[in-house]
Structure 1
Amino acid sequence: MAFRGLMDISLGRLIELYNSGKHEDLESACQQLLESEADDAHVWHLVAANAMQMGNLEDALLRVNKALNLMPEEMSFINTQGSVYRQLGRISEARDSYKQALKLDPEHFDTLYNLANLYRDSGEHGSAVDLYRKLLVRDKYFHSARMNLADLCRKMGDFQAAEAELRILFELDGGTLQALFGLGQVLLEQGKHEGAESCFREVVNAAPEDPGALFYLGNVLWSQGKISEAETSHRQSVKLMPEFHQAWNNLGNDLRDQGEQQQALNCYRKAIELNPSYMQAHSNLLFELNCTITDGTVLLEEHLRWDEMHGKPLLQQLEFSNERSAQRRLRIGYVSSDFCNHSVAYFIEGVLKHHDGQQFEISCYSNLLKPDARTAVLRSFADNWREIGHLSDEAAAQLIRSDQIDILIDLSGHTSHHRLQLFARKPAPLQVTYLGYPATTGMQVMDYRITDQIADPEYSNAFHSERLIRLPRCFIAFTPYESSPDVSALPVDEAGFIRFVSFNHMAKIGPEVIKLWSRLLHAVPESRLMVKHFSFKDEGVRDHLLKLFADQGIASERIEIFTWASSCEEHLSYYRLADIALDSFPYNGTTTTCEALWMGVPVVTRAGKLHAGCVGSTLVSRVGLESLIADDEDAYINIVADLAADRARLREVRATLRGKMMDSELCDAESLTVALEGQFRAMWQQWLESGDG
């Protein structure tokens, strides 16, 4: 008994060393003790826990198993064994250990918590939530469990529940910086920007050297259109943590939205350099390259590189059980993050509305977390509506497989919030990209891309990994806004000067565009240019744009800047001030071009070599305005100047353009849908004949 008392004192000293983080001293002391007491299970358990803290996981596993051999039913030992397995990535064995421990004591608090964390990390979110809630019933002050629960609810898209849990933390003890940080994240996700900004500013004030807080402050500033402030915050973040790849990516977004194309590209490349697996930055790079280069081979190579890094490794070779019948009702699936008041909706709505329900079953897979009134309209046209915003790519792919979709259609390409890594898993026999992106996806699993002869001439085949399907008409059809304002009289007749307009994204308005538009303003005396973009809410961005024009000799009063409109009707009403719309290059507008034409405003476009630079040509040619397509910069200047000088022609175009558009392919969604369905049927027939899958 005296010896046992000595061991108790020794073990207490060991525990003191463990709690103080003196792991090497503890290791040495334990080894000495085990030389005389090799069968002390508690010492073996302690050295196992110590090895786990030091990262020596294999040693930890050997030691905890030694402890369990000596005391097989000791709860704490089994719990530690589970934690070692979990850190080793042996999830199934970790789960078995935790469940074995809970058989001995179903209410063991630490084991329940560890199992909840395992469920969370392995994607079993529902089970994790249940266990966290169970723990919090027993101990409402268990902050780690509540923080984990809130974070998990946020990741699952249940932002209100996440916010509620975080506010409970503040009610209990005023919260912590970690809780304040989490609350800021949740408020940002819900679009509660002012509250989110307040949270992150408080965190930054308390921890000014925290790159994560600066990063999120930049994110919420960007979401409010405070672009130059966001840039400052993101720059501070990467200065404090140069390897912070997400901050480099978001700094790229700040610069992109100010038209700083090359700087944005450099930031995206830096993010990829720091983390080659960072898929989002690589997609952002691809999108911005569409705004800057015209070499289709270079563009294809970069897209193929994306697939090598982020697509091909995910391919799952599965056999498809879809019924192999040529004439049966086909299951078509559309995947998008833009089933809302977004430009994509104005082109997909007519297609969804006019699908032949007897021949095609339509499923929409919505990656949207915040639906709106437009979402409800689109949903009414679908046979099946699936919310996948809260699902992992693998879970969403499994859902699509279980729905036995025959043809799965991507509407996003490499734009924001795409789900191309879902497509990388090949959940459907045939996969098609359409509408939302002006180039190849670069993916070997994407079978087709839908376009037309003008948007993608025959030579474009060499710039795509997909097979191009060229419709015998315009590849899209525009659904005008229901409450569009009437076309106004020609503005120049009242104003006395020509007003040009461009509502294209600032990412498309690079230095070459500024130079050409400045030449145009010089060529048409007293003319003005009206621009509008959400980033112009920021005074710094406005001043920056005015300086770019000033550097080209254009006075600031000739540039009229507007911010984002609060409604589609308000947005379209700005066209009542515009005489001629100027298309951007080498990435033309699409929605902006259709809106301008709809409001009676002719669009002058500069034709390029790739789809991004040819889409303007395919749109204006459908309404008989082929003469407004320029082959080079000089032709662009001459066409615009001649049109500006011909007021009679401007009046005639103004008075007739909406009617021509209504009677053209641009507003004929029914015939477009028939053409698409014909291609879907042909794709399916060819797949059946190929014997693939």
Structure 2
Amino acid sequence: MFDTAQFTRAVNHYRQGELQQALAITREMVEKQVIQFDLFHLHALLSLESGDYASSLDAFERADALRPDYPPLLLSWGNYYQRIGDMKTALSCYDRAIAGQSDYADAHYNRGNILALSGDMDGAITAFERVLQLNPNHTAARNNLGSVLIDRGDIDAAIATLQQTLQLRRNYTLAHSNLLCAMHYHPDITATDLAVQFRQWRENNFINYPPITKTATADQRPLKMGLLSGALHTHPALWLSIAAFEQLNREQFALYGYSFGTKPDRMTARLRQCCVLWRELSNQSDAAITAQIRRDEIDILIDMAGHMQGRPLVAVMRAAPVQVKWVGGLFNTTGIKQMDWLISDEVETPEGCDAGFTEQIYRMPHSYICYSPPQISPPVTELPALKTGQLTLGCFNNPAKINQKLVIWWAKILRQLPQSRLLLKGKAYCSSVVKTRLRQWFQLQGVASERIIFETFSPHAELLNTYGKIDLALDPWPYSGGLTTIEALWMGVPTVTLPRPTFAGRHAASHLVNAGLGDWVVDSEAAYVEKVVWYSGHLEQLSELRRDLRQRLLDSPLCDARQFTRDFERGLLRMWHQYCDHQNILN
């Protein structure tokens, strides 16, 4: 018999976030063979949150038998399939919910999220726009629309959409971080524009959190060092850092991993072997993550996500005595005053730019990153132009980095080299909107669309193989290529770059200088074009460079993990000693 009072207690626990208490009640009722739709639905939700997927699925199926094709149940069931990684079935559930209720905004919203995750940007945008037709004040949908517009390279539309989101919800941290990111892709945004927006982010996300009262001593060892990120898997941030963590002196530093949203893979396994403790915090709030890091008494916290789907409020709440920004969502200052340090080098942040950063800048002696080449890589191929007789240029960067001003530069090169072509590769080229936009931009500059070749996403090994099709890489502007530049070098392909005076605009310059290719860093648009045109007439020199590049990279500071790690450790100790000296003065 259904006990209404008992079920009401479970609902109240659920609404108050007391999930274990609620689950204990619904489990008891289900075990008593109570048959009731709302009970099964709630039990399915609670079991899902607790990670008991078998019980959750069983409860969903029993609820569906009582009320087949009920839209709210299908929405929850879709969330179940999304949680376990079955995106196809999740999408089917949302579609069924919409079929039963065409104006079901939540189902359209979840459908948009699935499509965005699967790479269908055009479909995701349509879904989010439908949500906003139904509910113009749906700020999460508006933020996600802005995020997908960034991915599709619609930067003006993305900025406008995210600004509208913030007008509706001023302290929406994720939307404001997305706006900061979008602005760095725009060729006309100035340093002043960025400074204003960073200041507004800081004002909108002020949190008065209790200070850390831990007593610190300069000689305590090992120092507890935490890594915070939602991308502690195969991701540019780890390709550019994991070698240092593997070389870390265990007597000096104990590594702690704080992961949220990570998709575990081989790179995750490598990193976990470096850690004395690993915590998965995907479903935890910023305050809960901060509290956990404080309980673990972390001395130095390294943020490896920043404003790019990271948890910047953890730094605002002061999770550790010393907080450091390093690779991962590192495109400028964080704008967070509680972020004490930012790790860089003399090319990324030349002397004199410190005033634009809220952090102290620690400049590494050489490169600010340490590249870990893939254990299995395809061989470097011969220069394609020697066989084809035509130069094939390429850009494998995020298509969001390509703008109309940049296309004008590239078109000048293509017009001067009428037999050349341009290969563009990236996930966004699955979108017909993106391809049409770029073709139109090139046509406006007198370049036929058939000279522009598009390739979409491919697995990493296949991506590396694709470098065998191009002779020379073009760096985007104003947001430069990071890992993409290094992988091109690894595959024997040099990149020409024109730095911009922002951190995001100087990635390629830093990597090229540290690889001994400083002459590929130019100082004007004209020099950018001339560099490419010159090499089109000197293919033997380009071919010789191609054959030597991998070894040059291996011999450079970019791949010297041992030396990098010793420099990295000295930097961390300096940061710690400065903190301890400051505490001694206060005491």
With structure 2 as the length reference, what TM-score do the two structures score? 0.94
The alpha-carbon distance between structure 1 residues 151 and 672, as it changes in their structure 2 partners (threshold 3 A), is farther
Question: Aligned letter for 2:86?
Answer: K
> Which residue does the alignment assign to 1:575?
467
2:453 maps to amino acid = E
2:533 aligns to what? 641
Q: One-letter code of the match for 2:159?
A: L
The CA deviation at 1:169 is 2.1
The CA distance in 2 between the partners of 1:172 and 1:385, in whole Å, is 42
Matched with 2:204 is 309
Q: Which amino acid aligns with 1:202?
A: R
Query: Per the alignment, do residues 109 and 304 of structure 1 end up closer, same or farther by CA in structure 2, a change over 3 Å counting?
Result: farther
Q: Deviations over 1:438-470 (max 9, x none)?
A: 111111211111111110112321111111111
Q: Which of 625, 628, 643 in structure 1 is aligned with 2:520?
A: 628
Change (3 A) 1:141 1:520: farther
User: Is 1:331 matched up with 2:214?
Assistant: no
Deviation at 1:390, TM superposition (A): 2.3
On the 8 A contact 1:157/1:389 being kept in 2, the answer is no
Aligned residue for 1:221? Answer: 115
**C-alpha deviation, 1:323, in angstroms:** 4.8
> Alpha carbons of 1:240 and 1:551: their partners in 2 closer, same or farther (altered >3 Å)?
farther
1:601 maps to amino acid: V
Residue of structure 1 equivalent to 2:130: 236
The equivalences for 1:174-189 within 5 A come to 174-189=68-83
- Aligned 8 A contact 2:471 2:493 in 1: yes
Which amino acid is the alignment partner of residue 193 of structure 2?
V
Between 1:654-663 and 1:505-514, the stretch displaced more is 505-514
Does 2:348 align with 1:450?
no
Q: Secondary structure, in 3 states, of the residue corresponding to 2:298? A: coil
Query: 1:669: Cα distance to partner?
Result: 2.1
Query: Secondary structure of 2:210's match?
Result: coil
2:192 corresponds to 1:297? yes
Partner of 1:90: none
* SS of corresponding position for 1:651: helix
1:405 equivalent in alignment to 2:405:
no
Q: Does 1:347 align with 2:210?
A: no
Matched residue of 2:497: which SS? strand
What is the TM-score of this pair, normalised by structure 1?
A: 0.80
SS in 2 for 1:344: helix
What SS does the aligned partner of 2:353 have? helix
Counting aligned pairs with the same residue, the percent is: 30
Classify 1:690/1:171 alpha carbon distance in 2 versus 1 (closer, same or farther; 3 Å): same
Partner of 1:685: 577
Q: Which residue of 2 aligns with 1:545?
A: 438
* 1:1-44 superposed Cα distances (whole Å, 9 cap, x missing partner): xxxxxxxxxxxxxxxxxxxxxxxxxxxxxxxxxxxxxxxxxxxx
Structure with greater Cα Rg: 1
Report the 3-state secondary structure (helix = DSSP H, G, I; strand = E; otherwise coil) of the residue aligned with 1:334. Answer: strand
Match of 2:174 in 1: 280
Please give the per-residue CA displacement for 1:165-212, whole angstroms capped at 9, x wherever unaligned.
323322444251111112222323443222122222222222222332
Alignment of 1:198-597 (within 5 A): 198-292=92-186, 295-310=190-205, 312-313=206-207, 315-416=208-309, 418-436=310-328, 437-565=330-458, 567-597=459-489
Match of 1:675 in 2: 567
Q: Deviation per CA, 1:238-287, whole angstroms, max 9, x where unpaired?
A: 12222222222222223222211111111111111112232211111011
- What is the Cα deviation at residue 615 of structure 1? 1.5
Q: Is the 8 A contact 2:233 2:262 kept in 1?
A: no
Which among 492, 495, 503 is matched to residue 600 of structure 1?
492
Q: Which amino acid aligns with 2:295?
A: S
| CA distance in structure 1 between the partners assigned to 2:254 and 2:100 by the alignment | 55
Q: Residue 218 and residue 291 in structure 1: after superposition, are their counterparts in 2 closer, same or farther (change >3 A)?
A: same
* Structure 1 residues 659 and 131: CA distance shift in structure 2, 3 A: same
User: In the alignment, residue 324 of structure 1 is paired with which amino acid?
Assistant: T
* Uncovered stretches (5+) of structure 2, i.e. residues with no partner: none
Provide Cα deviations, 1:312-353, integer angstroms capped at 9, x if missing partner. Answer: 22x422333355242422111111111111111201211210
Tell me, yes or no, if the aligned pair for 1:299 and 1:463 is still in contact at 8 Å.
no
Query: How has the CA–CA distance of structure 1 residues 142 and 432 changed in structure 2, closer, same or farther, with 3 Å as cutoff?
Result: farther
Find the aligned partners of 1:587 and 1:152 in 2 and give their Cα distance: 44
Of the structure 1 ranges 214-223 and 669-678, higher mean CA displacement relative to structure 2 is found in 214-223
Structure 1 residues 604 and 371: CA distance shift in structure 2, 3 A:
same
The 2-side partners of 1:575 and 1:158 are apart by: 45
CA contact (8 A) 2:71 2:98 kept: no
**Residue of structure 2 equivalent to 1:665:** 557
Aligned residues of 1:185 and 1:196 also touching (Cα < 8 A): yes
Task: Tell me the distance in 1 between the aligned counterparts of 2:212 and 2:494.
Answer: 51
Alpha carbons of structure 1 residues 409 and 115: separation in structure 2 relative to 1, 3 Å: farther
2-side partners of 1:364 and 1:518: how far apart?
Answer: 46
State the number of aligned residues.
583
- 2-side partners of 1:252 and 1:185: how far apart? 22
Take 1:139 and 1:514, find their aligned partners in 2: how far apart are those partners? 67
8 A Cα contact 1:477 1:665, kept in partner = yes
SS in 2 for 1:600: coil
**Structure 1 letter corresponding to 2:487:** E
Deviates more, 1:426-435 or 1:153-162: 153-162
Question: Is the 1:347–1:479 contact (alpha carbons within 8 Å) kept by the matching residues of 2?
Answer: yes
**Further displaced range: 113-122 or 221-230:** 113-122
Q: Structure 2 vs 1, CA of residues 672 and 130 (structure 1 numbering), >3 Å: closer, same or farther?
A: farther
Residue equivalent to 1:22? none
Would you say 1:617 and 2:509 are equivalent positions? Answer: yes
CA-CA distance at 1:224 after TM superposition: 2.1
Separation in structure 2 between the aligned mates of residue 237 and residue 122 of structure 1, nearest angstrom = 28
What SS is found at the alignment partner of 2:390? coil
Using the TM superposition, give the Cα deviation of residue 298 of structure 1 relative to its aligned residue in structure 2, in angstroms.
2.7
Q: Does the 8 A contact of 1:322 with 1:406 survive in 2?
A: no
Greater relative contact order structure (CA < 8 Å, 6+ sep)? 2
The 1-side partners of 2:363 and 2:406 are apart by 30
Distance 1:409 1:494 in 2: 48
> Structure 2: how far apart are the matches of 1:324 and 1:486?
50
Q: Which amino acid aligns with 2:63?
A: L
Question: 1:476-499 deviations in whole A, cap 9, x for unaligned?
Answer: 011111111110111111122111
C-alpha contact (below 8 Å) 2:69/2:100 kept by paired residues: no
Which amino acid letter does the alignment assign opposite residue 433 of structure 1?
A: K
**1:650 paired to 2:542:** yes
Question: CA 1:168/1:483 → structure 2, altered by over 3 Å: closer, same or farther?
Answer: farther
Q: Between 533-542 and 280-289, report the one with greater CA deviation.
A: 533-542
Change (3 A) 1:154 1:280: farther
C-alpha distance after superposition, 1:417-444 (max 9, x if no partner) = x111222221211111111111111112
Moved more, 664-673 or 473-482: 664-673
Q: Where in structure 1 are there 5+ consecutive unaligned residues?
A: 1-106
C-alpha deviation, 1:638, in angstroms: 0.9
Q: Please, what is the CA RMSD of the aligned residues? A: 2.2
Provide Cα deviations, 1:594-648, integer angstroms capped at 9, x if missing partner: 1101000000011111111112111111122111112221111111111222101
